[in-house]
Structure 1
Amino acid sequence: MAFERVGVVGLGTMGAGIAEVFARAGLRVLGVEADAEALARGRSLLEGSTGRALDKGRLTGEERAAILGRVTLTTSREDLREADLVIEAIPEHLDLKLALFADLDRICKPETVLATNTSSLSVTAIAAATGRPGRVVGLHFFNPAPVMRLVEVVRTVLSEPGVVDEVAGLAGRLGKTAVTVGDRAGFVVNRLLLPYLNHAAVLLELGVATRDDIDAVMRLGAGLPMGPFTLLDLIGLDTAYEIMEVLHDETRDRRHAPSPLLRELVTAGRLGRKSGAGFYSGEPPRAPDGGSRPGVTAFEVAGPGADELAERLGAAGFKRSGDDPDVVLRLADRPVVEHAVRLRDPAKLVGVRLHGDRAAELAVTALTSPAAVAAASDLMKVLGLAAVPCKDRAGFVADALLLPYLNDAVRMYDAGYASIADIDTAMRLGCGYPAGPFATMETMGLARVRDGLRALYAEYREPAFAPAPLLDQLVVAGASTFPRS
């Protein structure tokens, strides 16, 4: 099917961006809003976005005029009768979408494809509200639509395969990268991203680490574009809360229940950047400082990689001594306290996990003294590492957040929900991650991921933390990569 005339219903930030994307690709666009006031806001968003692109030299005046000239605005849905494709971008309330699609089904010609930009609601339920369920798909753009390269094309059990392929082809024509996924709450990106963000809030509630330290280790240690709390504030806490509720309604997985802290902040009106305060109150995350010269005269270090760390500290002017050190650094996974109790003075031991040359997690046991934590932090800062104190818990912070996300990706693939390539692509382009989950696991080592998940499951007894059967089988078989067809 040749898509030449496209309707966009709802011209808020997302809808106006989608209309711009279609118009930039040379398609004629009919934008529909509920009333004249909303229509004026939509026109302002279109003019503002293209105006900024003009100011930055990304569009010429002629190109901007051509884009705006391809967009016609109206308050009448009846004008959509000749559209080849209609996509809605109205608020995320299922009853509103069901009513809209029933109306579009009446108005549009039989061959018109109807699409929803929902980020988490059931596309199947929306399709079933029409007389053309085979021609209804999800077409999930990411904000800002003119900039973000990813589009999730969502198929249902009712979708005609040819229609899904045609819509994916259209996404390519728009200059987007399409991934085709099954109809599960959250699709790929939100289904993997939001539980990770929610889990970060749970770790904060449990006191495993501070807000700023969790953000720092995930940005500097795990290499993510931003920490979970900074990202939650950007997304909007109310949006995150709503998506988590949709996920929980479908899965009944207790990990998908919005964390109490997230619920409290939303109830208090702290919605993130949109309200001026969320996890942060306008202040930026605390940047790890370089610290001053610590008052440590002697240290000891043990565990895998101890000699290398000792050499680095020695080069910085510190003395390694096993007699009476100020602090004992233990390079090991938890439980770190098992190493502490073997010492003459267990209060001096601090667990250390290095993340390249950027960050170090410092595991604090129930016996560790504040002086030892301060000494370890100062030593790490002298080496140029961001020091992240945390409780002596399985996975500390980085693995406790990263490994369940990776495990979820394995389960998603194993269920036939999306391909490895599409999952990796979705997380790279949709979240700006340096690598997708499968590439990340292969870099880390499948056995390390499997063993880390076993440790998390043993401590937290969360069923979803148990290694996915496929991951376990690949490790047992000695595989280092996932099968790709």
Structure 2
Amino acid sequence: MDTPLHTVAVVGLGTMGTGIAEVLTRAGREVVGIDISEEAARRAVASLEASTARAVRRGRITEEERADTLARFRTYPDLRAAADAELVIEVVSESFETKQQVFHELDAVVRPTAVLATGTNALSVTRLAAESRHPERVLGMHFFNPAPAMKLVEVVSSVLTAPAAVDAVTALARELGKEPVAVGDRPGFVADGLLFGYLNQAAAMYEAKYASREDIDAAMRLGCGLPMGPLALLDLIGVDTARTVLDAMYAASRDRLHAPAPILKQLSEAGLTGRKAGRGFYTYAAPGTPDVVPDALTPGPEAAGEAPGREIRSVGVAGSGTMASGIAEVFARSGYDVVIAGRSPEKAEGAKARIGASLARSVDRGRMTAAAREEALARITPAGSLDALAEVDLAVEAVAEDLEVKRQLFATLDKVCRQGAVLATTTSSLPVVACARATSRPEDVIGMHFFNPAPAMKLVEVVRTVLTADDVHATVRAVTAGIGKHPVDCGDRAGFIVNALLFPYLNNAIKMVEQHYATVDDIDAAIKLGAGYPMGPFELLDVVGLDVSLAIEKVLHREFRDPGLAPAPLLEHLVAAGCLGRKTGRGFREYARR
């Protein structure tokens, strides 16, 4: 099967097929585009004409090169046009019967040495191969949308695939400027196998009315740096497509986390399949456009129905570590008088010194003036006792993530802080109501979950308990917005929004490695290149700390009692061995000691 794969047929000229055809044509391949729809073929040609015209305008190619590129792309309505292709890439609808029919017809048309690739991301490559006349030449070639921009191609082998076929398409992917990742045949492969479980959990979270669609999406964009929120991404992918992928994943894994959330079925059967239909989780200006328009679920003005908040002029921060220092810096830069209370005067002074160094870096980078730095520092008063928080309007706890430590601290704040002060915890996974019940005024207690580093991260999860007063909630939302952060509302349950969606995804990545399905490097590459995430799951785990990740995963498992949330044994073993990530020099990777 030694072939340069010079002539390639692309079967199905929808969005993905058109994108793949463009990538191949611009890379010098002769491309045969096949679609029974004349309209689809016309759109594919028009798309290539438009993209190459843009390339000429931007000076990336000449007019002559554009003409050559367009000449290499020809469209036909019949599979017989694939007779001379050395590679056929099928990207028809995600239906096994449809794909099976295409492969059956191709068997009668193409030469015996031709490679047949399916673009499926959920269906069994092995089943398609087994029913083919030459199963050894069938494999998966999973591009990501939009194909011209996304760098990842998952090359999927079945137990029947010849190594020569894998080598040929792997070499082609590299020539196309893509990053090929070799994977075995299971629904979702690497990138979608991790991504769709996360998307499903987000859909279930929304369906349970735990948080609004806007808050869920904002939380994941701002808290994790993701290019899109999960519900907006479901609309882009297609709600029906997501349901199909999840059905296939659940059939293989029987993991309840892969069982499609009922809302996906409801939206699909109502024809509300996302952007392509003009409506899914969101409503769009027109089918196929990305422009979201207000609908009945769009939040109204902030003040509508909201109780008036309390006046906040001074803020106390209990704690002197990294998070406490960062939060104090944020408030001081926003004009608040801040008291930072450490366990000793020395610790509090150390926290102020760290803030001073952070502000100096901002001055060096031109983000603030030297005068503004001095003004912010002058607003910070270090103290060695919680008694210094007696007159603050808002007290923010930022101590160790230990429930008993936090409860003791809140009991002290209850005695120290004036009546009417708002008491906030920055916990990321512990029950806020447990902190509230340690006081005689649980209605004044709320969660304010900042993200690290607090000066840079824009998200704050505002966590109200069943006891939190309306005016306390209104106060914290207003204060959060006033310090330049984005507040998202959520209830008091383990993980809130971000961690409840993030850590099961990280845990599932570890399980993939445990099962020897893919390597740490391949999984990280697949997620960064296929999903556009800023970090792969193992990079992120090593940064967060494996001990922290294990603790959060245990909290989620304890709260929701779902077997799929049980911490991966490999994570527990690494933590037991003291391999905690970057901070110890070894986690899923090894790091140079500083």
Query: Normalized against structure 2, the TM-score is what?
Result: 0.76
How many angstroms apart in 2 are the aligned matches of 1:11 and 1:179?
24
Is residue 353 from structure 1 mapped to residue 449 from structure 2 by the alignment?
Answer: yes
Residue 433 (structure 1) aligned to one of 489, 511, 533: 533
Instruction: Report what 1:330 is aligned to.
Output: 425
Q: Work out whether residues 350 and 368 of structure 1, in 8 Å CA contact, stay in contact via their aligned partners in 2.
A: yes
| Alpha-carbon shift at residue 428 of structure 1 (Å) | 0.8
Instruction: Report what 1:407 is aligned to.
Output: 507
How many angstroms apart in 1 are the aligned matches of 2:564 and 2:515?
14
Distance 1:307 1:328, change over 3 A: farther
How many angstroms apart in 2 are the aligned matches of 1:38 and 1:233?
22
Instruction: Report what 1:320 is aligned to.
Output: 392
Instruction: Report what 1:140 is aligned to.
Output: 142
Instruction: Report what 1:283 is aligned to.
Output: 293
Q: What is the one-letter code of the residue matched to 2:588?
A: F
Q: What is the one-letter code of the residue matched to 2:435?
A: H
How many angstroms apart in 2 are the aligned matches of 1:79 and 1:207?
51
Instruction: Report what 2:243 is aligned to.
Output: 241
Matched residue of 2:154: which SS?
Answer: strand
Instruction: Report what 2:259 is aligned to.
Output: 257
Greater shift, 285-294 or 129-138, is seen at 285-294
Identity over aligned pairs, percent: 44
Instruction: Report what 2:154 is aligned to.
Output: 152
Q: What is the one-letter code of the residue matched to 2:440?
A: R
Kindly name which structure, 1 or 2, has the bigger radius of gyration based on alpha carbons. Answer: 2
Residue 273 (structure 1) aligned to one of 272, 275, 280: 275
Distance 1:471 1:28, change over 3 A: same
Instruction: Report what 1:477 is aligned to.
Output: 577
Greater shift, 71-80 or 411-420, is seen at 71-80
How many angstroms apart in 1 are the aligned matches of 2:326 and 2:39?
66
Distance 1:153 1:146, change over 3 A: same
Instruction: Report what 2:402 is aligned to.
Output: none
How many angstroms apart in 1 are the aligned matches of 2:508 and 2:248?
17
Instruction: Report what 1:424 is aligned to.
Output: 524
How many angstroms apart in 1 are the aligned matches of 2:104 and 2:110?
10
Is residue 227 from structure 1 mapped to residue 299 from structure 2 by the alignment?
Answer: no
| Alpha-carbon shift at residue 251 of structure 1 (Å) | 1.9
- Backbone CA RMSD of aligned residues: 2.6
How many angstroms apart in 1 are the aligned matches of 2:186 and 2:533?
22
C-alpha offsets along residues 56-82 of structure 1, whole Å, 9 cap, x if unaligned? 544332222111111232233233233
Distance 1:171 1:312, change over 3 A: closer
Residue 384 (structure 1) aligned to one of 484, 489, 495: 484
Instruction: Report what 1:95 is aligned to.
Output: 97
How many angstroms apart in 1 are the aligned matches of 2:20 and 2:433?
54
Mark the runs of 5 or more structure 1 residues left unpaired by the alignment: none
How many angstroms apart in 1 are the aligned matches of 2:330 and 2:589?
40
Q: Work out whether residues 294 and 378 of structure 1, in 8 Å CA contact, stay in contact via their aligned partners in 2.
A: no
Distance 1:299 1:175, change over 3 A: closer
| Alpha-carbon shift at residue 442 of structure 1 (Å) | 0.7
Is residue 296 from structure 1 mapped to residue 306 from structure 2 by the alignment?
Answer: no
Instruction: Report what 1:341 is aligned to.
Output: 437
Matched residue of 1:82: which SS?
Answer: coil
Distance 1:307 1:169, change over 3 A: closer
Instruction: Report what 2:177 is aligned to.
Output: 175
How many angstroms apart in 1 are the aligned matches of 2:278 and 2:40?
24
How many angstroms apart in 1 are the aligned matches of 2:253 and 2:565?
15
Mark the runs of 5 or more structure 2 residues left unpaired by the alignment: 284-291, 338-390, 394-416, 582-586
| Alpha-carbon shift at residue 396 of structure 1 (Å) | 1.0
Matched residue of 2:197: which SS?
Answer: helix
Q: What is the one-letter code of the residue matched to 2:443?
A: A
Q: What is the one-letter code of the residue matched to 1:309?
A: I
Residue 498 (structure 2) aligned to one of 371, 395, 398: 398
> Map of 1:79-90 to 2, 5 A cutoff?
79-90=81-92
Distance 1:75 1:271, change over 3 A: closer
| Alpha-carbon shift at residue 400 of structure 1 (Å) | 0.3
| Alpha-carbon shift at residue 470 of structure 1 (Å) | 0.8
Greater shift, 305-314 or 228-237, is seen at 305-314
